[in-house]
């Protein structure tokens, strides 16, 4: 069997996605997600111009060899564009391997380690009362873990708080919009939000919070300490992770668990944080960390150091990535949680899939491969549309330094 075609498909059914579809001479196809939020066309060009020509004629069964060929063979390694492109190839090849073996991919990864994949949803609102309503809605939907985000009094808007509560897309404009940020207002407000949520829903519901890299290490330590009475499952992205030493300071001052890694691209980005046990959950993703092959390496390293998975799963990851993530989530021994933001009906039309939600769990398809595809005719109806994430400025107009 040989690869005879590889197509890069860019579509925007409400938000932009980049998908690679690999075709073999025996008619078996595989799909991989290559979406990089706000930089989608960079990955599409990398694939079309620099990767697709290398794939034609290769044996699709040689997944590891192909991964090494694309990574080691490029002088300019790592980085989100390169690793998203490699991820798309790797994911598509796993899809093909599952179809050839007539097995769902998780069976090729060692089989089930659990019955279902525990997911968490996003409850958010402008006020605490709004948040309580949304948490109650997710509880009614069967969720066992819920991320809580709230508007900050005195700020006109807060990243992570949306108008549409089930389908949140933060990339909101053709050019980056700007928002105002106040660390002091935020630190004063967040603990009061979680106090109300705990009072309303009791001690056993798993609660999470995303800081979105907004704090310095000592500010994050203060937040973690103030949240300890409310027993969060994790405090996500408290500081930018370019400086791993900052996490040591956080660890010295709080026992609130820390999750980080959605912007990581390789095991080398995460290795120090994992080995020094400075984090509790690693949030790397299939699409941004080199595919199933490389993400499995990250999770294996994490398992040796009491760190669980907690993969990013926002709407900028297509159903192809979500399907791949679920197969890996189901197989690894150190699974923690999987983020799950529901896609729109238009996205589900473009990416027909077999995974399903039930009672707080996602279940991958039992069909051979990943159990997801792309409808190229439907994709063609939704052309690319530029969209960027917002930029934060402090109240004095300074671009937020973290």
Dist CA 24 CA 3 (whole Å): 4
What ranges make up the beta strands (E) of 237-307? Answer: 258-260, 281-282
Task: Report the SS3 class of residue 72.
Answer: helix
Task: Mark whether 230 is an active-site residue.
Answer: no
203 Ramachandran zone, left/alpha/beta (phi>0; psi -120 to 50): alpha
Query: Catalytic: which of 69, 168, 212, 253?
Result: 212
Q: What's the rounded Cα separation, in Å, for the pair 104 and 192?
A: 45
| CA dihedral sign of residues 168, 171, 173, 176 | positive
Q: How far is CA 283 from CA 205, 269, 280, in A?
A: 21, 12, 10
Cβ contact 261:83 at 8 Å: no
| DSSP code at position 262 | T
189 closest CA partner among 169, 214, 171: 214
Strand, helix or coil for residue 144: coil
| DSSP code, position 304 | T
Alpha-carbon distance of 202 to 135, in angstroms, equals 12
- Please give the structure tokens belonging to residue 379: 């994709």
Q: Which residue in 69, 159, 168, 357 is the catalytic one?
A: 159
Burial 300-320 (b: 16+ CB within 10 A, else e): ebbbebebbbbbbbbbbbbbb
Residues with Cβ within 8 Å of residue 58, at least 6 apart in sequence:
2, 3, 66
Respond yes or no: is residue 363 known to be catalytic: no
First to last CA, the chain: 49
Rounded distance between C-alpha atoms, residue 267 and residue 182, angstroms = 33
Catalytic residues: 159, 212
């Amino acid at each position: 069997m040989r690869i005879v075609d590889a197509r890069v498909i860019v579509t925007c059914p409400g938000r932009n996605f980049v998908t690679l579809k690999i075709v073999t001479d025996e008619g078996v196809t595989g799909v991989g997600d290559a979406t990089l939020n706000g930089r989608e066309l960079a990955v599409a060009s990398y694939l079309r111009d620099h990767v697709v020509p290398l794939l034609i004629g290769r044996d699709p069964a040689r997944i590891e060899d192909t991964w090494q060929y694309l990574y080691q063979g490029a002088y300019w390694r790592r980085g989100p564009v390169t690793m998203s492109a490699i991820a798309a190839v790797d994911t598509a090849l796993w899809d093909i391997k599952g179809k050839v073996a007539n097995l769902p991919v998780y069976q090729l990864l060692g089989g089930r380690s659990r019955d279902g994949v525990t997911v968490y949803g996003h409850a958010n609102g402008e006020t605490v009362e709004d948040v309580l309503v949304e948490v109650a809605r997710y509880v009614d939907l069967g969720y066992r873990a819920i991320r809580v985000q709230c508007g900050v009094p005195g700020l006109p808007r807060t990243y992570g708080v949306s108008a549409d509560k089930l389908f949140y897309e933060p990339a909101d404009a053709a050019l980056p919009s700007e928002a105002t940020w106040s660390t002091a207002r935020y630190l004063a407000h967040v603990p009061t939000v979680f106090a109300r949520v705990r009072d309303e829903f009791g001690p056993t519901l798993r609660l999470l919070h995303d800081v979105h890299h907004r704090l310095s290490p000592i500010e994050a330590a203060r937040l973690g300490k103030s949240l300890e009475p409310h027993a969060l499952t994790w405090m996500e992205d408290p500081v930018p992770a370019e400086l791993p030493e900052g996490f040591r300071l956080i660890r010295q001052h709080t026992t609130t668990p820390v999750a980080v890694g959605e912007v990581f691209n390789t095991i080398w980005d995460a290795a120090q944080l994992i080995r020094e046990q400075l984090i509790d959950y690693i949030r790397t993703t299939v699409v941004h960390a080199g595919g199933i092959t490389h993400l499995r390496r990250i999770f294996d390293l994490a398992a040796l150091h009491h760190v669980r998975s907690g993969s990013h799963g926002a709407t900028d990851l297509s159903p192809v990535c979500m399907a791949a993530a679920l197969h890996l989530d189901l197989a690894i021994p150190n699974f923690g949680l999987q983020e799950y933001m529901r896609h729109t009906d238009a996205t589900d039309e473009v990416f027909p899939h077999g995974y399903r939600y039930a009672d707080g769990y996602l279940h991958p398809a039992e069909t051979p491969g990943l159990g997801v595809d792309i409808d190229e005719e439907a994709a063609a109806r939704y052309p690319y549309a530029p969209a960027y994430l917002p930029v934060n400025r402090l109240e004095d107009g300074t671009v937020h330094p973290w």
